[in-house]
Structure 1
Amino acid sequence: MQTAVIYIGAALAEIAGCFAFWAWLRMSKSAWWLVPGCTSLVLFAWLLTRADTSDAGRAYAAYGGIYITSALVWLWWAEGVRPDRWDLGGAFLCLLGAGLIFFGPHRA
């Protein structure tokens, strides 16, 4: 449960940080957007180190499903674009894969 909360927090931090760069480069926002953007990306990286796994690659791989789902939530809430059935189906498959990676019986 704690790892799920960490992954959700990391996803929000990563999306917010990347969106700050998007806003600066693609939406002609002020370069000041980069200050909270960089801070958010540092928070994202720090949060991923808190995940309950000893393997960095596995932590990042399992996080991927959470990130994809969170990006679609961002698309809907922040950008006003409602995900379609293909988006939702893809997110479901990614979460299924993330669950297999995270909960699967791995060799030590």
Structure 2
Amino acid sequence: MTTIFAYITAALAEISGCFAFWAWLRLGKSVWWLVPGGFSLALFAWALTWVDSSAAGRAYAAYGGVYIAASLAWLWVVEGVRPDRWDVLGVGICLIGAAIILAAPRA
């Protein structure tokens, strides 16, 4: 449960932090958007340290699948663009890959 919470927290923090930079550079928002964006990106990095993994790279690789799913949720909820069947298929494949990376038995 802690890993799922860590990945969800990291995904929301990373996407919102990156969106703050996007809003400033691409949408003409105030430079002050970068302040909460920076804090959000710091929370993202910290949240990934909560994952119980012996190797950071493995924790980051598995997180990639969660990030892709969260990005498409952001696309739908925040940007109002509904993911299509190819998006859904791709997310499913990525989440299966993330689960294999995290749950595989290791010596």
User: What TM bracket, shorter-length normalisation?
Assistant: over 0.9
Distance in 2, matches of 1:105 and 1:95, equals 17
Query: 2:81 aligns to what SS in structure 1?
Result: coil
User: Unaligned regions of 5+ residues in structure 1, if any?
Assistant: none
Question: Quick check: 2:2–2:50 contact (8 Å CA) kept in 1?
Answer: no
The answer for the alignment partner of 1:26 in structure 2 is 26
The answer for the alignment partner of 1:3 in structure 2 is 3
Sequence identity (%): 65
Calculate the TM-score normalised by the size of structure 2: 0.98
Distance in 2, matches of 1:27 and 1:105, equals 46
Q: Equivalences for 1:1-108 in 2 at 5 Å?
A: 1-107=1-107
User: Unaligned regions of 5+ residues in structure 2, if any?
Assistant: none
1:106 deviation in Å?
A: 2.1
Distance in 2, matches of 1:106 and 1:25, equals 44
Calculate the TM-score normalised by the size of structure 1: 0.97
Distance in 1, matches of 2:14 and 2:23, equals 14
1:55-76 per-residue CA deviation (whole Å, 9 max, x = no partner) reads 1000000101000000000000
1:35-88 per-residue CA deviation (whole Å, 9 max, x = no partner) reads 000000000000001111121000000101000000000000000000000000
